[in-house]
Structure 1
């Protein structure tokens, strides 16, 4: 073959290789993981997912995210000991144990989990200027709640809330939230609630369950909870074991300022983190600890439908 023909052949081969690499190989995609315990209809919007079966290699006190964001969280104060052999549903592995350790001391030793950054957590950007959020997962009460208030000298004083799981606002001190599942005092009575805030520094809205929280979350029983936050129209919802929970709004005005025209989203800031089992994941203060276990916590950047909540529940329990 002549030199000119060899050059043409080499050029053609190189061009073919470029075309193959740019066309035949699909581009890398965020969120390539497909957790088997998440219903397929939810995976695309699964920002963060923690099943507490995936310690970070070499750092057992941290938990790897199985969602698309890759947001690693800390198991605060208890580290690897917070992973316990308990099963929320058939096939699940370990669960997360959270608890209060020193009820009479204003210290920082409560077992809780999460992540915090005063400048925002970039991997949670899906919750920046978002139209809706869903928080869901399995919860089992393992002791007496609410816990004694370790921040006061009165031994009879108790915290007015029990923290479950939520996404912080973009200006949070570790307590303020954009979307939260918790139990909190509503008009003198503790209730299971979905509590959300659309605007940083703005007012919150709360949707509270009508039924007694001790019936909804009996000690020693795994329960699947979900809360949705629609920031476009100011609506919230609660679910238990795949079914909607009857409830009421604690405010009848427009705390999220969605009555006016235009597009309504959350403030365009990255959340400062996630909190699980209590507030202040940066471990600067004790607030609203939960004596409970949690499993398969999911944080999604959309309002899932009632049908999808039911599908997720049936997906892992095998119920038809």
Structure 2
């Protein structure tokens, strides 16, 4: 048995206290949304969650306001994971995700997701897709990266911070087709767009050059987007509607564009789900927890152009 982890216990107590205050929060009635509720990208999204549309039959599930109808499970925290915190004027409640008990090798982290080991037919738009976009609002609310509850070392941290992604068609709950996340690159935590065109193929990663703490300062809402073009191997990252400078991690042709016939698309398989705030949406393991809030998460089956992302950000923040 692993020795007691005093530091982790104190963190767990603090987390429980915060949980109680969040659970006690009351939400105003959902008012009519401003014009941002029907922005062009929102209307085009395969999947969209604004965390202001709980399933009336199960408040621990969020309705998809995109075109796929893929309900999202708020894992381990249920309705208490919705918090009053506007990402932008007129926004709905946000989603709070975080680690719960860092001292225990358990499975109770707050995260969200969807999962089907046979593939989710509602996510069929990502089957043979020409590309993808993952975007949304994010706000760091605690210490990240989280302590690794899967090891006996009380000072060991995860090497990634889970944000949001679409799983591959053969995923175990961790492997992805399109992912926006913070991971270790050359020994340093970085904001990345990580994509896998072929289910059994290699991934490519586009890494933002700036320090992640500058891109996601604690306590500040930031809009992020990651785009993936499976036709030509192009990936990109955006912050508050502006492209980020960065670099590709894997040399050569990891997506096998030069050795497979065109037109190039993603694998002809339905993704096994979506993961938000950590891996394994089937809730069999906790991994890469994020102490953060999220809102207006959109998943599209094409790479959104830079101009459209800039316009979307302006509409949300300025209403025009």
1:229 deviates by: 0.4
Superposition map of 1:1-320 within 5 A: 36-37=35-36, 40-43=39-42, 45-260=44-259, 261-318=261-318
Worse-superposed segment, 40-49 or 129-138: 40-49
What residue is the counterpart of 1:9 in the other structure?
none
TM-align CA RMSD: 1.4
Superposed CA offset, 1:143-179 (max 9, x none): 0100011000001111000010000000001000000
1:192 deviates by: 0.2
| TM-score, normalised relative to structure 2 | 0.87
Describe the SS at the equivalent of 1:97. strand
Describe the SS at the equivalent of 1:214. helix
1:35 deviates by: 9.3
Conserved in 1, the CA contact under 8 Å of 2:42 and 2:298?
no
Aligned length: 287
Worse-superposed segment, 37-46 or 199-208: 37-46
Conserved in 2, the CA contact under 8 Å of 1:39 and 1:315?
no
Conserved in 1, the CA contact under 8 Å of 2:164 and 2:180?
yes
* Cα distance in 2 between the residues matched to 1:273 and 1:145: 25
* Cα distance in 1 between the residues matched to 2:47 and 2:180: 15
Conserved in 2, the CA contact under 8 Å of 1:39 and 1:311?
no
1:262 deviates by: 1.6
Conserved in 2, the CA contact under 8 Å of 1:229 and 1:237?
yes
* Cα distance in 2 between the residues matched to 1:138 and 1:111: 18
Conserved in 1, the CA contact under 8 Å of 2:97 and 2:290?
yes
1:201 deviates by: 1.6
Conserved in 1, the CA contact under 8 Å of 2:36 and 2:319?
no
Conserved in 1, the CA contact under 8 Å of 2:127 and 2:269?
yes
- Pick closer, same or farther for the CA change 1:70–1:222 going to 2, 3 Å: same
1:234 deviates by: 0.7
* Cα distance in 1 between the residues matched to 2:62 and 2:309: 25
1:188 deviates by: 0.3
Describe the SS at the equivalent of 1:81. helix
| TM-score, normalised relative to structure 1 | 0.87
1:38 deviates by: 5.2
Conserved in 1, the CA contact under 8 Å of 2:137 and 2:224?
yes
Describe the SS at the equivalent of 2:36. coil
Conserved in 1, the CA contact under 8 Å of 2:165 and 2:275?
yes
- Pick closer, same or farther for the CA change 1:35–1:75 going to 2, 3 Å: farther
Conserved in 2, the CA contact under 8 Å of 1:39 and 1:312?
no
- Pick closer, same or farther for the CA change 1:102–1:51 going to 2, 3 Å: same
Conserved in 1, the CA contact under 8 Å of 2:39 and 2:315?
no
Describe the SS at the equivalent of 1:311. helix
* Cα distance in 2 between the residues matched to 1:220 and 1:43: 25
Q: Following TM superposition, where does structure 1 have runs of at least 4 consecutive aligned residues deviating by more than 4 angstroms?
A: none
* Cα distance in 2 between the residues matched to 1:41 and 1:96: 23
Gaps (5+ residues) in structure 2? 1-32
